């Protein structure tokens, strides 16, 4: 398994890799930065320098002084009171991504937690000990990270090797003593944007993989519908400036090169419907949007997102009360990602509709071998429409949501975490939609002229589908096939098409 060394700030691809199981190793310079920041906090505590969440309450209680004897209790109480999540648990990948982003944030050296706290989080990752984190109930951060931190102090619940355990039992199993939190540590463990940043990194990785599959399935549908591939030629596509469009265009040319099916109908139409002809434009725009999102996430990972931020030296401590834990940039980026993925999936459903509609496909109605007795993919297209519509509702921007919290102290919310969880929900639907198109496109090949060969790039995709799914004849529940096709999309990128000599 890959090990990622944390010295300089991690990138979103690193966070996604840790979410998938990679290990993380704290480099000595990062460990020293953490220790120095902790020494600064200890000076602040010893001198009684006023610092938010260290020797004061939080939120609207920020002007309430907390004496030294109660600062440990404040840290513990913050976890207890902030662990307010509801709903089903986040998946293991999502929790791992959040923890990885937390460790990255502390490694900047401006948080003030002890190295032992960071080591505890890394131990959870190393042992794949996954705190139970309810998915809902956050307007920005706080709740998800509080549920993670509970396990570090022997509270809350976790899953280890698939077994549900109390936090204390989970720590005992992996040989870790529960932590007794010191001043500021409770606040740092619930504060900042690691939750949104971790979830965003995972969403972006899934989106990239989905776009590769969307290009691939679009090529299969295009071939089955006898499209006119000159629309994807490099010269006319280059008239529109877009790196994403150029990439999708190249992907389509490679997938469709050598297709006897397309060669047999070349020139049959002046131009195709937009769900076929505009694939480079829609998928390309999504790719461009994802590139922007990646830069926003990397910028977040390179930033200190604690409030307060610790600076200076142990001899001359500085503490800054600011708003770095608010992340409008990340909220906007996640809203953008969700919209981009929703549009790609909506276009996939339109191609699916053309495959099953005999009025435009030239194929048997609903791709059924015995239309009438068999309904084929009729209702699978209904399912895709339902998911497209759900995505349309989900794609409403979270960054514009209102909400006033903490007695007017926190009176503007950027909703970065809800934007990220919403993007993940859109991805769930989009993967299912593209999976249905993939199945239908494979089914459509069963009705093409046998003498005409598929393009090598689409033939490999067809064979990958047929390795897990035989042709459909209304002989089994189609939902099971859909689940297998979706798993194929979620597990890996599609096999590459043979590259063109020049494009």
The residues annotated as belonging to the active site are 52
DSSP 396: S
Asked if residues 460 and 497 have their Cβ atoms less than 8 Å apart, the reply is yes
The rounded distance, in Å, linking the Cα atoms of 23 and 30 is 16
The rounded distance, in Å, linking the Cα atoms of 178 and 90 is 23
Asked if residues 322 and 308 have their Cβ atoms less than 8 Å apart, the reply is yes
Cα angle for residues 409, 413, 418 (degrees, 5° grid):
140
Exposed e or buried b for every residue in 287-318, given b needs 16+ CB within 10 A? Answer: bbbbeebbebbbbbbebbbbbbbbeeeeeebe
Greatest CA separation found in the chain? Answer: 85
The rounded distance, in Å, linking the Cα atoms of 396 and 387 is 15
Q: Which residues pair with 371 in a beta bridge?
A: 374
Helices 456-466 and 243-256: angle between axes, nearest 10 degrees: 80
The rounded distance, in Å, linking the Cα atoms of 178 and 154 is 5
The rounded distance, in Å, linking the Cα atoms of 55 and 43 is 12
Q: Find how far residue 58's CA is from the centre of its chain.
A: 30
Residue (of 463, 371, 481, 425) closest to 207 by Cα position: 425
Asked if residues 435 and 488 have their Cβ atoms less than 8 Å apart, the reply is yes
Asked if residues 150 and 131 have their Cβ atoms less than 8 Å apart, the reply is yes
Half-sphere exposure of 459 (CA within 13 A, CB side): 11
The rounded distance, in Å, linking the Cα atoms of 459 and 223 is 11
Asked if residues 249 and 280 have their Cβ atoms less than 8 Å apart, the reply is yes
The DSSP-derived string for 130-180 is EE--EEE--SSSSHHHHHHHHHHTT-SEEEETTEEEEHHHHHHHTT-PPP-
Residue 416 CB partners (closer than 8 Å, separation 6+): 140, 141, 193, 196, 200, 327, 328, 330, 331, 334, 399
Name the strand (E) or helix (H) holding 131.
strand 129-131
Q: Where are the alpha helices (DSSP H) in 163-231?
A: 167-173, 185-190, 194-224
The rounded distance, in Å, linking the Cα atoms of 6 and 14 is 10
The rounded distance, in Å, linking the Cα atoms of 190 and 83 is 9
């Amino acid at each position: 398994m890959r090990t990622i060394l944390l010295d300089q700030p991690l990138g979103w691809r690193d966070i996604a890799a840790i979410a998938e199981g990679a290990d993380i190793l704290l480099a000595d310079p990062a460990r020293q930065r953490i220790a120095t920041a902790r020494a600064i906090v200890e000076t602040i505590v010893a001198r009684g320098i006023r610092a938010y969440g260290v020797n004061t309450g939080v939120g609207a209680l920020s002007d309430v002084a907390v004496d030294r004897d109660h600062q440990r209790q404040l840290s513990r109480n913050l976890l207890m009171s902030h662990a307010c999540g509801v709903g089903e648990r986040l998946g293991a990948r999502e929790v791992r991504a959040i923890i990885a982003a937390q460790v990255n944030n502390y490694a900047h050296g401006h948080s003030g937690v002890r190295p032992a706290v960071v080591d505890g989080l890394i131990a959870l990752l190393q042992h794949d000990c996954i705190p139970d984190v309810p998915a809902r109930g956050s307007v920005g951060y706080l709740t998800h990270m509080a549920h993670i931190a509970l396990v570090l102090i022997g509270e809350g619940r976790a899953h280890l090797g698939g077994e549900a355990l109390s936090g204390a039992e989970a720590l005992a199993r992996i040989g870790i003593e529960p932590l007794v939190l010191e001043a500021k540590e409770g606040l740092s463990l619930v504060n900042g944007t690691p939750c949104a940043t971790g979830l965003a990194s995972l969403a972006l990785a899934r989106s990239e993989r989905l776009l590769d599959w969307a290009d691939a399935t679009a090529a299969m549908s295009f071939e089955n519908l006898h499209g006119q591939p000159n629309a994807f030629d490099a010269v006319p596509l280059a008239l529109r400036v877009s790196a994403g469009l150029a990439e999708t265009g190249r992907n389509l040319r490679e997938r469709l090169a050598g297709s006897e099916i397309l060669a047999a109908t070349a020139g049959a139409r002046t131009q195709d419907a937009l769900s076929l002809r505009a694939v480079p434009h829609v998928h390309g725009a999504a790719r461009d949007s994802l590139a922007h999102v990646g830069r926003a996430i990397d910028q977040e990972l390179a930033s200190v997102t604690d409030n307060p931020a610790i600076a200076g030296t142990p001899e001359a401590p500085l503490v800054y009360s600011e708003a770095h834990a608010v992340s409008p940039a990340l909220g906007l980026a996640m809203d953008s990602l969700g919209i981009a993925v929703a549009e790609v999936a909506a276009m996939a459903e339109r191609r699916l509709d053309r495959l099953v509609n005999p009025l435009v496909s030239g194929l048997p109605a609903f791709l059924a071998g015995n239309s009438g007795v068999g309904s084929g993919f009729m209702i699978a297209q209904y399912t895709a429409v339902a998911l497209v519509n759900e995505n349309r509702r989900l794609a409403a921007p979270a960054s514009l949501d209102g909400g006033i919290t903490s007695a007017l102290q926190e009176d503007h919310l950027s909703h970065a975490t809800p934007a990220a969880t919403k993007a993940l929900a859109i991805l769930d639907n989009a993967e299912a939609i593209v999976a249905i198109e993939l199945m239908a496109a494979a089914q459509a090949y069963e009705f093409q002229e046998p003498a005409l060969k598929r393009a090598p790039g689409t033939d490999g995709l067809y064979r990958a589908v047929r390795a897990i799914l035989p042709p459909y004849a209304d002989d089994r529940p189609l939902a099971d096939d859909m689940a297998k096709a979706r798993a194929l999309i979620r597990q890996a990128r599609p096999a590459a098409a043979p590259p063109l000599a020049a494009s």
